[in-house]
Amino acid sequence: MQGAHYLRFGFLAGLLLSSGQVRAQEDPNAQFGGVVMFFPDHHAEAVLKPDGHYSLYFSDSFDQAMPASAARQASLTILRPHLKPETVALRIGDSGDDWVGSGAPVADHNTIARIAYVIQGKPYSSEILFFPASTNPLFHADVHTVPAPVRAGSPARISFAIHGPDGKNITALEVVHEKPMHLLVVSHDLAEFYHIHPQLTPAGTFDVTHVFPHGGDYRMFVDYTPKDSGGVVDWHDLKVAGTPRAPVHLVPDAQPVKTVGPFRVTFSSDQPLVAGKDLKLHFRIDEAKTGAPVHNLQRYLGAWGHIMLVSDDLKEFIHAHPAEYGTANGPSPPVIEVATGFRRPGLYKLWIQIQRNSVVTAIPFAFRVAGQAQTPSGPDAPRDAILVTVSAAGYAPSRIDAKVGQPLKLAFYRPDAQNCGGVVNFPDLHVSQDLPPGKTTVITVVPRKTGPLSFACKMGMLKGQLIVR
């Protein structure tokens, strides 16, 4: 075994074992968000989506793209624990750039994808471990635009069709922060940012109209929560036709203070920004003219602020919200506090959105995160415990059956720090437990009455229930 390395693509995948002379490592220049396998004479990038959609790309040793026809006899086998192997038929895609195939969705953490192909008469094979980062790997959003392609300066309708595990269209979404869907759009250089909200249409899609001011490449992060399920974040790239603006090179801010509109915002954290640690990010909101603390913000989409963080390679995305403070009609806090963390080191950009007098202002910050990338080792739960995975998408499962008066053993597995789940609280039971990132923490609770019994993270953003009978 040559080591496990992880990339994000709506899930995590680690290269476990490869034949021949392979350097299994994370490629910071992965073009399609997959896992790159390095051979002396070529590179292969496997894109493995938990919804069962697969692609395989090839490039030469200088990272120049090769046509899919450079490989022959490409095959893919999905190995699920305790089930028969699934053979996925691969074919060269319509563009000629990749091999593509579709199969059954992948939900088990221990599923392996076995890839094989022949290049220049030499056989190659690799095994890649699925490790879903989302608590809902079985949902995905397909995107359609009118017109196609989208053109800069003209209104474009962007439509999303949500599909569930059976492939059928889903329209029942939870309303989270006052909207069924949050669409966060950034340009590839992170100079542009938009937070918009598709709405359900009679056609069963979630649509929004937007005007892109410039041509160029954009990434769309689609944040939604199916009914009775955890949250999902999909992403799609969009190329906008038209005149592009000059690209902006992202660099860390020299000072953690920004003045935008009427606000002067100071960004800080409770400890150094290091990957793999639970952090509290602080945003002090002052009047730009007087320096006095601001206490008259309005809640925007149900919260005192919305915070979006994206890594410069567009592989890491966080949509976070501050802790509850005061009442809806009371004064806003002078400092907005957000609990989160980072899976990988690198350069990041964030936007905090606040509202006053019905005007929403976005304040950007760019900064570096130090440390080493987290490599989740997988859950270590006792056989008699119920495994609960804690991620930015929430608790999975979020609804758990329990019996009144009987001890219930819960094994909370928190793969990384990229969420606010550092503490789980059972307020009715007066139980509170730290959940360190990268570990499994076992808690035993005893429900005392029938009915729903809630549990949540300290920030109140991740929520679950015991259904006690």
Question: Is there a contact between 371 and 345 (Cβ–Cβ < 8 Å)?
Answer: yes
Look at residues 419, 414, 409 and name the one whose alpha carbon lies nearest to residue 446: 409
* Predicted confidence (pLDDT) at residue 192 exceeds the cutoff of 50: yes
H/E stretch holding 424 reads strand 423-426
pLDDT at 49 over 70: yes
What's the pLDDT tens digit per position in 257-266?
999 999 999 9
Distant-in-sequence, close-in-space partners of 246: CB < 8 Å, separation ≥ 6: none
Which residues make beta-bridge pairs with 128? 15, 113
Nearest to 35 by CA among 45, 25, 43: 45
What are the pLDDT digits (tens) for 362-408?
999 999 999 876 655 667 788 899 988 888 778 888 889 999 999 99
Q: How confident is the model at residue 153 (pLDDT cuts 50, 70, 90)?
A: very high
Which tokens belong to 187?
């340009």
Fold of 257-369: Immunoglobulin-like (2.60.40)
CA angle 313–317–318, rounded 5-degree value: 150
CATH for 140-240 (2.60.40.1930, 3.30.360.10, 3.40.50.740, 3.30.70.2610): 2.60.40.1930
pLDDT band at 220 (very low <50, low <70, confident <90, very high): very high
Taking alpha carbons only, the member of 47, 42, 59, 36 closest to residue 11 is 47
**DSSP summary character for residue 428:** G
From the list 260, 332, 336, the residue with the least C-alpha distance to 296 is 332
Domains 6-131 and 257-369 share a fold: yes
Residues in the chain: 469
Residue type at position 429 = L
Looking at domain 6-131, its CATH class is mainly beta
Residue 452, helix vs strand vs coil: strand
Cα–Cα distances in angstroms (integers) from residue 67 to residues 56, 97, 122, in the given order: 11, 5, 17
Q: Which amino acid is at 237?
A: D
Share of the chain above pLDDT 70, in %: 87
Contact 191, 139 (CB under 8 A): no
pTM: 0.71
pLDDT for residue 416: 83
Position 22, amino acid: V
Q: CA–CA separation, 31 vs 9, rounded Å?
A: 11
CATH class, range 386-468: mainly beta
The C-alpha atoms of residue 335 and residue 327 are separated, in whole angstroms, by: 15
CA separation for the pair 42, 171 (Å, rounded): 43
Strand ranges, E, within 96-179: 98-102, 112-119, 122-131, 140-146, 155-163, 169-170
Phi first, then psi, for residue 70 (nearest 5°) are -65, -20
3-state SS record for 40-99? CCEEEEEEECCCCEEEEEEEECCCCEECHHHEEEEEEEEECCCCCCEEECCEECCCCCEE
Average pLDDT score, the chain: 85
Q: Taking the domains of the chain in order of start, what are their residue ranges?
A: 6-131, 140-240, 257-369, 386-468
- The DSSP secondary-structure symbol of 328 reads T
d(CA 173, CA 226): 4
Q: Could you tell me if 343 and 373 are in contact, meaning their C-beta atoms sit under 8 angstroms apart?
A: yes
- Residue with the bigger pLDDT between 280 and 126: it is 280
Which pLDDT score, from 0 to 100, does residue 443 have? Answer: 95
Say whether pLDDT at 339 is over 50: yes
What's the average model confidence in pLDDT over 299-316? 92
pLDDT higher than 90, residue 139: no
